[in-house]
Structure 1
Amino acid sequence: MSTANRGIPGPPRFGIAVHALAWLAQSGGVLSSAAIAGQVNSHATFLRRVLVNLVQAGLVEVKEGRDGGYWLRKQSEDITLADVYMAVRNDCGGMEQLEDEGTDCGAAVQQLNRALESIMNEAERNTIEYLRQFTMDDVMRKIDFTAQPTS
């Protein structure tokens, strides 16, 4: 996990996605994945995986090639944190990962997993509803873009 995402609840890529969108919005133009990665303290390869989710969700556009890069498809005031969360949430693993890995669990463990999954699904629904209240503009108002990143 990137140090930029430590302590941020939600899918592991959520914090990186919010950071990347903030830098794209602040730039007002096209940025390479390397430039964004440098600003959000993430490896460019990992960041590109996150950006793929944002492109698929219609939040970001991409142009491949030498003069390519990423830019916002929507205005920052039209992107909610719920949009970002939903774009990256399927990359966080979870209960379905246990089943996909073929874990041989006893009946009690399977029942516990189903109960926990139900609780977590409700928590996720509540989280998404809460995040709908905030836009990238709200987040950007709290950022000092002149501060230098720490190593």
Structure 2
Amino acid sequence: MNSDFVIASHSLVLLANLPGHMANSETIAENVCTNPARVRKVMSTLRKNGYVKTKEGIGGGYILSCDPEKTTLSQIYLTISSGSLKPHWCTGDPEQACVISSNTQGVMDQIFNEAELHLQSYLNQITISGVLARIKNLEENL
């Protein structure tokens, strides 16, 4: 999992909660507690995939263009972070004669692929609106 997924999810939940469902990168960045340039990079990916639109000029920003009741965290994960569970490096060497060294990488790849499928299945049960509801529920219970 990478932080871009969290930034994307946080940004979409924020937009879903705002009147007009719109905010600029500075407002989103302040809420997410990160740099506006980083927000713009993540939002660019979301825009290319139809989750947000942009309004140019003064008073412009990002506008939620997906249905928060139907958009799942799995969809956002697949857009932003697919494959991020698997490390970029794995132990072992498929060319070695040792059965452990030559097969660990392939087995670990299978394990990470299975874990990703389980993660996607879980995230598919949670919508943007569901995250917003959890946040509001948490706030009410404080």
TM-score, normalised by the number of residues in structure 1: 0.73
Q: Find the aligned partners of 1:93 and 1:44 in 2 and give their Cα distance.
A: 26
**Which amino acid in the other structure matches residue 11 of structure 2?**
A
Matched residues, number: 131
Superposition RMSD in Å: 2.6
1:38 aligns with 2:20: no
Q: Gaps (5+ residues) in structure 2?
A: 95-99
Tell me the equivalent position of 1:6: none
Give a deviation string over 1:91-141, Cα, whole Å, max 9, x none.
Answer: 84844x459xxxxx7436674333222211111111111111111111101
How far did 1:90 drift?
Answer: 4.4
How far did 1:25 drift?
Answer: 0.5
Tell me the equivalent position of 2:40: 48
| Shift in CA distance, 41/94, structure 1 to aligned 2, threshold 3 Å | same
Match of residue 140, structure 1, among 123, 132, 142: 132
Give a deviation string over 1:22-76, Cα, whole Å, max 9, x none.
Answer: 1100113321011011111111111111112211221111233333210111121
1:70 aligns with 2:34: no
Identical residues among aligned pairs (%):
30
Match of residue 80, structure 2, among 82, 85, 88: 88
1:112 aligns with 2:104: yes
Match of residue 125, structure 1, among 111, 117, 126: 117
User: Rg bigger for which structure?
Assistant: 2
